[in-house]
Structure 1
């Protein structure tokens, strides 16, 4: 049995490693050795999380997936959570979360009957906390939209400030002839942002010619 720790933050500006010490302390207290760490900055509302699925690919039956909170594992909608849970179940992975005390006993192997009972109880609790995490995600996004709408109505909304330093670097890469794929890989920008900057560069060049 191996313990594999998963750390996630939603954006690159957030520290995905923030909970590493807490997870390590939890493992030490229970005599568990963390075999590997999987860290990424991706939205919990998306299944497009390479490190999480690399973790599951590395798992063997009975391995532990250790997370700080269930919402680090999922802020998915019902369909997305169903797919992720099916993958976890197929791998026979035990999810242990610091905010889910009923999962702690899964960190210790027991007889088959006890393990199955704990799996069933933990599965129900995971479903409940995953649903709560999704509701919290949707509530926050609704409040954000309401705040933006109110700011627009009052003429106060200016949108997110442009990252001029990053965009200048991207424009320089475009001017040097680098491919879009290499720029996206190097900077982490979206292709829509890249398209907007490419159009801006073309307009500047056209105006100066």
Structure 2
């Protein structure tokens, strides 16, 4: 059976650099034509290159990642993908910066496989917990800032002095809301919102 090494690279944004991941995969070595890269968030696995890679993987192949968070960011999803790749597809996974996450080392040894699975679950749990904590800290920070009177978003637009006159014309059906907004140099939605707030 021919074993092929594949690599997966993910960066969250188009302006992030993938060079470190590519260098590490090529050093493994993974041939350049077998490296798949997505420039997308890791929140789920609906990524075109990742899905293409999954279709390429066959029993005995090796999937190489620079780090586990390149696979994804969602705890449950990472565990599910790990199961699909290692148990259903029977493909080895090598995480370069975490030697314990190298299923080749497990071989036929059930203990080795158990250790790799356990380490992955712990890492994924820690990553998910940290993300939850960050979200909670952000939420608490925003709430505290609001209590101190900090306003978020753009400051509300000042209503022009002639707003009430033009609004009355609109209320008396002498002009349309579109015409009123045009005269005030604002969006029609803004004019209607202000009119209902008054």
TM-score grouping bracket, smaller chain normalisation: 0.5 to 0.7
- TM (normalized to structure 1)? 0.60
Aligned pair partner of 1:139 in 111, 121, 133: 133
Structure with more of its chain in helix, by fraction: 1
In structure 1, the partner of 2:13 is 11
Considering only CA atoms, is the larger Rg found in Structure 1 or Structure 2? 2
Which runs of 5 or more residues in structure 2 are unaligned? 155-186, 192-198
* Partner SS for 2:101: helix
Within 5 Å, give how 1:60-75 maps onto structure 2.
Answer: 60-75=58-73
Distance in structure 2 (CA, Å) of the matches to 1:121 and 1:54: 29
Distance in structure 2 (CA, Å) of the matches to 1:105 and 1:75: 20
Which structure has more RCO (C-alpha within 8 Å, separation ≥ 6)?
Answer: 1
Q: Are residues 1:126 and 2:128 paired?
A: no
Distance in structure 2 (CA, Å) of the matches to 1:34 and 1:121: 31
Judged with a 3 Å threshold, the aligned counterparts in structure 2 of structure 1 residues 68 and 146 are, in CA distance, closer, same or farther, namely farther
Count of aligned pairs? 157
> What stretches of structure 1 move > 6 A for 4+ residues in a row?
none
Is the CA contact (8 Å cut-off) linking 1:3 and 1:34 kept in structure 2? Answer: no
* Partner SS for 1:19: helix
Distance in structure 2 (CA, Å) of the matches to 1:35 and 1:118: 31
Which runs of 5 or more residues in structure 1 are unaligned? 161-201
Within 5 Å, give how 1:98-109 maps onto structure 2.
Answer: 98-104=96-102, 106=104
